[in-house]
Amino acid sequence: MKELTKAEDQVMQILWKLEKAFVKDLVEAMPEPKPAYNTVSTIVRILETKGFVDHTAYGKTHEYYPLITKEKYTKFYLNNLLKGYFDGSFQNLVSFFARENKLSATDVQKLLAEVKDAKKGKP
């Protein structure tokens, strides 16, 4: 799997939310200033080439849908972030955010409790 560009990610975020959409639907869901229809169409075709989306054809019109779930991409992206910036260490990641975001000891304890619950399979 490849990492998405900012424009590709923006389109995928909308497509994950809508679940399936025509290019016009994607353009309508984008914030102002809206990109040109052809720009969005090109991005969607690139996403299709990368294996992120597929389409159903209705004559000359295509309805696009994601092939990769948001959860799967999030896991891939965060693992790359962890490897690339934190030497693959979750501890380094938490330590970074604790320093940069001025997490209190209580916040860190809550985070650790959530991690422990997640490892035990609790929601």
Q: What percent of the chain has pLDDT over 70?
A: 98
3-state secondary structure of 14: helix
Domain regions of the chain by residue span: 6-66, 70-120
Are 83 and 93 within 8 A, CB to CB? no
Model confidence pLDDT, tens digit, residues 72-107: 999 999 899 989 999 988 788 878 877 887 778 788
Contacts from 52-59 at CB under 8 Å and sequence distance 24+? 52/4, 52/8, 52/12, 53/12, 53/15, 56/20
Are 65 and 48 within 8 A, CB to CB? no
Q: Which pLDDT score is estimated for 39?
A: 98
- Is 6-66 a CATH 1.10.10.10 domain? yes
Distant-in-sequence, close-in-space partners of 86: CB < 8 Å, separation ≥ 6: 92, 93, 96
